[in-house]
Amino acid sequence: MATRVRPSSKRCAVIGGSGFLGRHLVEKLLDRGYSVSVFDIRQSYELPGVTFHQGDLCNKQALLLALKDVSLVFHCASPAPASDDRALFERVNIQGTQTVIQACIEAGVQKLVLTSSASVVFEGADIKNGREDLPYAKNPIDYYTETKIEQEKLVLKACDKQKGFLTVAIRPHGIFGPRDPQLVPILVDTARRGKMKFIIGDGTNLVDFTFVENVVHGHVLAAEHLKPDSPICGKPYHITNDEPVRFWDFMSDVLVGLGYAAPRYHLPYTLVYGLALLLWLLSLILRPLISFKPTFTPMRVALAGTHHYYSCKRAKEDLGYKPVVSLKEGIARTVQSYPHLRHGA
Ligand SMILES: NC(=O)C1=CN([C@@H]2O[C@H](COP(=O)(O)OP(=O)(O)OC[C@H]3O[C@@H](n4cnc5c(N)ncnc54)[C@H](OP(=O)(O)O)[C@@H]3O)[C@@H](O)[C@H]2O)C=CC1
Ligand SMILES: CC(C)CCC[C@@H](C)[C@H]1CC[C@H]2C3=C(CC[C@]12C)[C@@]1(C)CCC(=O)C[C@@H]1CC3
């Protein structure tokens, strides 16, 4: 009788491993002695100890090849939040995640760690020290958030101790760090176009920004604590820097660190939000004739003008989580890593 080979617990796969968070995660896993299969729609680097599988996560057969002999899977692939392609979000984040779950079960994977987002509970109103038991957003602010909610529900529901398939979701917030393609590049581009002169609202709103290595640390802890008798099975965990900061202080520190002026003039939140909504509607109506992408989208304005910070008490208690890099150190390392984005470069 053929015996089924139990996959090695040091063999894992990172779906989305070519992306910003995914690549940092892959590097940490290699440091910790894992061998890693990366599954991604693109290959962005090469590293010893990493096997690349290029493909779309909606394709189960392609996934199955990457998951052969793998016991642990991290799923951190998603279309970029800035996209407004609803069909793409639904296909990748919802149907694609269903495919990931099916492929994991068929391949005999034992643990699935999803990168969700703290934004799954954000509707544009203040969240102060939000806990994981806040309800999912009833009116998600964009298609990204809407599909991240469905994705998280699917993964947590799939947790089945009897079948030996365990799942957990990590909810990071505002990830930043070296090689981030989003936060710093968009900020610098906006500054270079002379649009970072204004503070939306009174500038006192507190927000979480999380250094990428802390997010990676949360993922590794979750994976290593995910066992049949553990309280973490089927649960979501906030992972942040645990140092809420004024949104506009964080933006100013990054801008000034790169040689740009900090924003100074205040604009009322409701005025800017209304204008952003109007511009977004116009961009939808005019799309057949002209295509333009407003910088100040309703989502970005809401994020820039409200409080949204989250408690990581549950992660501290259940995972022993503690940030490994402070906000100050994270900002310094991030600024240093972008010489090409410095003023005048
Ligand atoms: N950045 C942030 O502030 C936050 C991010 N998150 C979550 O963290 C995760 C990682 O985000 P981040 O690293 O910033 O994003 P990236 O865009 O850098 O990484 C995502 C990777 O997934 C790939 N991908 C997209 N669609 C598919 C597909 N159909 N099949 C296979 N691979 C695909 C992307 O390729 P391509 O680039 O070609 O699309 C990219 O390489 C995401 O799930 C995101 O929702 C959560 C909270 C905050
Ligand atoms: C133009 C300026 C007002 C803002 C420039 C910076 C923004 C691009 C970023 C500030 C907060 C960021 C953020 C995300 C993306 C980049 C920002 C909007 C997310 C939406 C990424 C995906 C998530 O899951 C939640 C993040 C919240 C914070």
Is 103 a pocket residue for ligand 2 (Cβ < 6 Å)?
Answer: no
For helices 269-285 and 298-305, the axis angle rounded to 10 degrees is 170
Q: 189 to each of 174, 193, 235, 295, 343, how far by Cα in Å?
A: 18, 6, 38, 10, 11
Instruction: Find the angle CA(111)-CA(112)-CA(113) to the nearest 5 degrees.
Output: 120
Residue 211 half-sphere exposure, CB side, CA atoms within 13 Å? 21
**Quick check: is 336 in a domain?**
no
What pLDDT digit, counting tens, does each position of 270-305 carry? 999 999 999 989 988 888 888 888 888 898 999 999
Residue 46 lies in a domain: yes
ipTM: 0.97
Whichever domain contains 16, its CATH number is: 3.40.50.720
State the pTM of this model.
0.96
pLDDT at 304 (0 to 100): 96
Which of the listed residues 20, 78, 141, 152 should we mutate to test ligand 1's pocket, taking the one with most ligand atoms within 8 A of CB? 78
What single letter denotes the amino acid at residue 68? K
Q: What is the pLDDT of residues 298-342, one digit of tens each?
A: 989 999 999 999 999 999 999 999 999 999 999 999 999 999 999
Closest listed residue to residue 93, CA positions, set 145, 32, 29? 145
Structural domain includes residue 77: yes
* Residue 7: band (very low, low, confident or very high) from pLDDT cuts 50, 70, 90: low
| Cβ neighbours, 10 Å, residue 208 | 28
> Whose CA is closest to 113, among 140, 151, 143?
151
Who has greater pLDDT, 10 or 304?
A: 304
Q: What is the DSSP letter of 318?
A: H
In the sheet that 127-130 helps form, which strands lie side by side, from edge to edge?
127-130, 308-310, 206-207, 245-246
Distance separating alpha carbons of residues 285 and 273, to the nearest angstrom: 18
Q: Which atom of ligand 1 is nearest to the CA of 172?
A: 47
The answer to whether position 282 is within a domain reads: no
The answer to the question of residue 73 being in a domain is yes
Residue bearing the CA closest to ligand 2, atom 10: 183
Report DSSP state, residue 115: E
Q: How many domains does the chain have?
A: 1
Q: Does 191 reside within a domain?
A: no
Collapsing DSSP to helix, strand or coil, 215 comes out as: helix
Atom of ligand 2 nearest to the CA of 295: 1
Q: Does a structural domain hold residue 297?
A: no
pLDDT of 8 over the 70 cut: no
Q: Is 23 in the pocket of ligand 2 (CB under 6 A)?
A: no
Of the pLDDT bands very low, low, confident and very high (cuts 50, 70, 90), residue 10 is: confident
Q: Provide residues with CB under 6 Å of ligand 1.
A: 16, 18-22, 40-42, 56-58, 76-80, 92, 96, 115, 117, 148, 172-175, 181-182
**What gap in Å lies between CA 84 and CA 339, rounded to an integer?**
30
Any domain includes 270 = no
Report which protein residue has its CA nearest ligand 2's atom 12.
174
Residue-level pLDDT at 1: 42
The overall average pLDDT reported for the chain is: 95
The backbone torsions φ and ψ at residue 50, rounded to the nearest 5 degrees and listed phi first, read: -115, 130
What pLDDT is stored for residue 2 in this prediction? Answer: 43
pLDDT tens sequence across 84-102: 899 999 999 999 999 999 9
331, 243 in Cβ contact below 8 A?
no
> Residue 19's domain spans which residues?
10-176+209-242+310-325
Which residue has the CA at smallest separation from atom 9 of ligand 2? 183
Q: Which of 143, 144, 237, 309 is catalytic?
A: 144
CA atoms of 139 and 174, how far apart (whole Å): 20
> What per-residue confidence (pLDDT) applies to 289?
85
DSSP state, 264?
-
Give yes or no: 144 in active site.
Answer: yes
